[in-house]
Amino acid sequence: MTILKDSYGRAIRDLRVSVTDRCNFRCFYCLPHGEPPAAPKEMMLSYEEIEYASEIFVALGIEKIRLTGGEPLLRRDIETLVRKVAALPGLHDLALTTNGFTLAERARGLKDAGLNRVTISIDSLKPEVFKKMTGVDVLDRVLEGVRAAQRVGLTPVKVNAVVVRGHNEDEVADMAAFAREHDVLMRFIEFMPLDSGHEWSRADVVSGREIRATINERFPLVPVHTERGAETASRYRFADGAPGEIGIIAPVTEPFCGACSRIRLTADGQIRTCLFSKTEHSLRDRIRSNASRAEIVEYIESVVMKKEPRHYINDAAFEQPARTMSLIGG
């Protein structure tokens, strides 16, 4: 079987597909000043085009696809796309990352369409802090989404929290308690320079080490050893055997680029070989130019060979990419 490999020998197994660049939240670390003008609709990949691209990627060894955005549940009838992608032979895992706004109503339909699991973003368990961080006062609704996802079996449910100094670092242990109580995998993510305001500052980053230490004080942790090296999160279970799990994703202070297995496809059909790529590669143009399947395969293989060795956040000359997380597909 073919396996996509980059020029550093890393096997590419995970594809993140952004299905829309629109979002109904205004998280200050992502879209603080609102959305850029919408790209013309015809620039966006259709479901048929996403299905075709996904089928080729899976034939090239992609095992895991994550649908993301923007807010993926804003794309009309996303269940139709889920159904198409879930049916691809050879795909092991289909996940979706959402802000959870409409998840309570959509969870059942997504599960029935073939989605395996969801990741839900919740930065705070205090309604006022949640509102301050996301721009919307809807914590209860999102928590209802977590319950619905668990009820219908979109599990294991992961919950993402971006930890930012002065906003929610005092809630880290409480969120660990939430993981125990609700049996979720709670993932704490370091703030990365991918905000549209370009206001990221190193001083705002709460390090993975600090997060780990804070949780350990209240709930001693034991590392979970996973089989594959490409996992972004360091994972921990609770030493007392309580349910739930902790994941710490520390791309700034503990980069894991050497084991990166990811590639991204934006809503407008551009392949990004790294979150921090400065160049993009138009798969959309290839698909629409009626290139043969063999030509598209060759193109993808050549693009993957250009994958960056690592990010340069910690280098003096680092420059933030022009696109924000909401446009890249986090």
User: Count of H helices and E strands in the chain?
Assistant: 10, 12
Choice from 47, 130, 178, 191 touching ligand SAM (CB under 6 A): 191
Distance, in Å, from the CA atom of 260 to the CA atom of 252, rounded to the nearest integer, reads 14
Distance, in Å, from the CA atom of 231 to the CA atom of 279, rounded to the nearest integer, reads 25
Give me the least distance between CB of 148 and ligand SF4, in Å please. Answer: 18
Q: Which residues contact 26 (CB under 8 A, 6 or more apart)?
A: 32, 34, 134, 135, 136
Tokens of 197: 């305001």
Find the binding residues for ligand SAM in span 268-307 (CB under 6 A).
Answer: none
Amino acid making up residue 35: E
Q: Which is nearer to ligand SF4, 116 or 134 (CB)?
A: 134
Chain positions contacting ligand SF4, by CB under 6 A: 23, 25-27, 30-31, 69-71, 99, 121, 256-257, 260, 262, 274-276, 308, 310-311, 325-326
Amino acid making up residue 47: Y
Distance, in Å, from the CA atom of 246 to the CA atom of 212, rounded to the nearest integer, reads 9
Please state whether the peptide bond connecting residue 36 to the residue before it is cis, i.e. omega within 30 degrees of 0: no
**DSSP-assigned beta bridge partners for residue 238:** 221
Q: Which is nearer to ligand SF4, 144 or 183 (CB)?
A: 144
Cα 39 to chain centroid distance, Å, stands at 22
Give me the least distance between CB of 166 and ligand SAM, in Å please. Answer: 15
Q: Is 20 in the site for ligand SAM (CB under 6 A)?
A: no
Q: Is 30 in the site for ligand SAM (CB under 6 A)?
A: yes
Choice from 17, 69, 188, 269 touching ligand SAM (CB under 6 A): 69
Q: Is 98 in the site for ligand SAM (CB under 6 A)?
A: yes
Give me the least distance between CB of 1 and ligand SAM, in Å please. Answer: 30
Distance, in Å, from the CA atom of 74 to the CA atom of 129, rounded to the nearest integer, reads 24
Could you tell which of ligand SAM, ligand SF4, none binds residue 160, using a CB distance below 5 to 8 A set by kind? ligand SAM
Could you tell which of ligand SF4, ligand SAM, none binds residue 311, using a CB distance below 5 to 8 A set by kind? ligand SF4
Beta-sheet strands, E only, within the chain: 14-18, 64-68, 93-98, 117-121, 158-163, 185-190, 221-223, 234-238, 245-249, 262-265, 270-272, 281-282
Q: Is 71 in the site for ligand SAM (CB under 6 A)?
A: yes
Q: Which is nearer to ligand SAM, 33 or 218 (CB)?
A: 33
Closest residue to ligand SAM, based on beta-carbon distance: 330
Q: Is 261 in the site for ligand SAM (CB under 6 A)?
A: no
Distance, in Å, from the CA atom of 66 to the CA atom of 310, rounded to the nearest integer, reads 21
Give me the least distance between CB of 70 and ligand SF4, in Å please. Answer: 5
260 SS3 class: coil
Give me the least distance between CB of 117 and ligand SF4, in Å please. Answer: 17
Q: Which is nearer to ligand SF4, 177 or 266 (CB)?
A: 266
Q: Which residues are near ligand SAM by CB under 6 A?
A: 23, 29-30, 68-69, 71, 97-99, 121, 160, 162, 189, 191-192, 194-195, 325-326, 330
